[in-house]
Amino acid sequence: MFDKIKETATSVAEKVVAEPQKAWVSDERTPYLGFEMDENGNVLGKAKGGVHALMLAGSGTGKSRTVLAPAIILWKEGVVFAVSAKGDLAELTAAHRNGGPCYLMDLTGQVDPSEIPADVTHVVSDPCALLVPDATGSTDDSAYDIATLLVQVGAAGLSGGKDSSGDSAFWATLSLGVLACLLQAGAGYPDPETGEWVDGGGINWVLAASRNSSSRDSDEDGTDLFDLDTPSWDTAALRAGLVDSIHADDVEATKNLDPKQVDSVKINLKVATSAWTKRAIRGTGDSVPFTPDMLEQNNATFYMVSPSNGAGASAAVSVIDSVVNHWVLNAARKMPKMLMVLDEMPVIAPWKRLREAVGLLRSYGLTFLVAAQHSTQFTARFGKEEADALLAIFPSILVGVGAIEEDLLKRAAWTIPATERRTESKDSAARNNSSKDRAETAQAAELLPRHTGEGQLLIRGMPGPRVKLVDLKYM
């Protein structure tokens, strides 16, 4: 059996390798989702899912070893971006990624270096390094987008997963302009005399500056000193002014508010940047900050390991958002096809734009392979409406053991035409509604996988093939 699988995996791999070097052409590249089986359990070949896929299976059932890791290895001639809670994806696949550059961002500080190939470049997370310039070179929009994400995700982290609303949302919104300005200032500024680019000190500078709304001393004439160093809102506004940022004005406007209101903004800044107060997330030593353009080389691979309790969620979503924006803004340059693997997505990378991305970003060369333990994790994080909509538009969903996806499977069973229902022949009153319901329930239960070596594919909500899931070491 395994020989057959090995043979199939090898032939699939060879076929993918043999494809001509045109990764950005609109080919129908889909992520690996196991092997399709016939009714007798014989392997027919690589299962064909849709362009994006969601895997739902319980903890420890093989999501990483049987699906995500093989999908990363089989994604040849393209870029892989992988987020997970453990170092396992990097450990299992880094040595098999076709020779491109590999980057590792470890936000847990717990990845064992001896398990990672020596040529993997260690990078740190810094939102200031994630600003993506638009066609005019301005980072205003990018800074505002990242500020919005940090405020939203930071607040959701503190409120146990729910988005902030009402009053707190008002203060959060007020702090966006100031945070955008601080991020631009932390990224750097042109020296007013020489025009040379000066490093802004990154997130460490932003953390210090966010606490200090005013640093402007006056000399004896009462004129302001031109201070570009002291971390403060004022300095940030000066630096941002040097890059013509529209957010520089927000600092002055916010400072003129009632002191209590200024304090509220400061609290929001603290919440938004709280992830970086942890050493593991800020990074230490001489690792370089990750920038999205690092992934432009074909075959590049980026691994992010983010704490399973969601403590790195802000860092994770800001990197995802920035990489996606980089791909969209630079689409004219024909970016390589990228597989984005987001493991434990609702917990460690709760990126709100996932639905938009799954619905619209295929033409930008982005393919999403998302994993979670159960669909209710999306409901807990994004709310019922958003989660339902997201589940409804995923072109393919792979259900493994441990995920009792009653609703998804029942709905899939409901789509089976009456003539194909196996239970119908036994039931002479199949046209009666209640027995039709029973038939659907029975069919849904039949779709549920019973052991870790198998999964049930749903294609556009309808029952797809039963698939065989094989541990990476047998491939």
Ligand X SMILES: Nc1ncnc2c1ncn2[C@@H]1O[C@H](COP(=O)(O)OP(=O)(O)OP(=O)(O)O)[C@@H](O)[C@H]1O
Q: Which residues bind ligand X (CB under 6 A)?
A: 57, 59-65, 88, 471, 473
Number of neighbours of residue 116 by Cβ within 10 angstroms: 19
Partner whose footprint covers residue 62, from ligand X, Mg ion, none (CB < 5 to 8 Å by kind)? ligand X
Whole-number minimum distance, CB 33 to Mg ion, in Å?
16
Q: How far is the CB of 64 from Mg ion (least distance, A)?
A: 3
Query: How do strand 338-342 and strand 79-84 relate by DSSP bridges?
Result: parallel
- For Mg ion, the binding residues (CB under 5 A) are 63-64
Shortest approach of ligand X to residue 115 CB, angstroms?
Answer: 12
State the minimum distance, in angstroms, from the CB of residue 29 to ligand X.
Answer: 23
| Residue 188 near residue 198 (C-beta atoms within 8 A) | yes
**61 touches which of ligand X, Mg ion, none (CB within 5 to 8 A by kind)?**
ligand X
65's contact among Mg ion, ligand X, none, with CB below 5 to 8 A by partner kind, is: ligand X
306 binds, among ligand X, Mg ion, none (CB under 5 to 8 A by kind): none
Residue 313 binds: one of Mg ion, ligand X, none (C-beta under 5 to 8 A by kind): none
Which of 385, 337, 346 lies closest to 100, judged by CA? 337
Residue 95 near residue 117 (C-beta atoms within 8 A) = yes
Q: Least Å distance between CB 63 and Mg ion? A: 5
64 vs 254, beta carbon nearer Mg ion:
64
Cβ of residue 91: shortest distance to ligand X, in angstroms?
10
User: Looking at residue 85, what DSSP letter applies?
Assistant: S
Task: CB nearer to Mg ion: give 58 or 101.
Answer: 58
- Provide φ and ψ at 138, rounded to 5°: -85, 140
CA distance 146 to 319: 9
Structure tokens of 99? 């020779």
Least separation in angstroms between CB 344 and ligand X: 7
Toward ligand X, which CB reaches closer, 98 or 308?
A: 308
* Residues contacting 445, CB < 8 A, separation 6+: 409
Partner interacting with residue 451 (select from ligand X, Mg ion, none; CB below 5-8 Å by kind) = none
Cβ-based nearer residue to Mg ion, 63 or 352: 63
Q: Which lies closer to Mg ion via its Cβ, residue 63 or residue 247?
A: 63
One-letter amino acid at 130 equals L
Residue 229 tokens read as: 């160093």
Q: Would you say the C-alpha torsion 418, 458, 361, 160 has a positive or negative sign?
A: positive
How many CA atoms within 13 Å lie on the side-chain side of 203? 31
How far apart CA 356 and CA 468 sit, in angstroms, is 30
DSSP-derived secondary structure letter, 218: B
Question: Which partner from the list ligand X, Mg ion, none does 234 bind, CB cut-off 5 to 8 Å by kind?
Answer: none
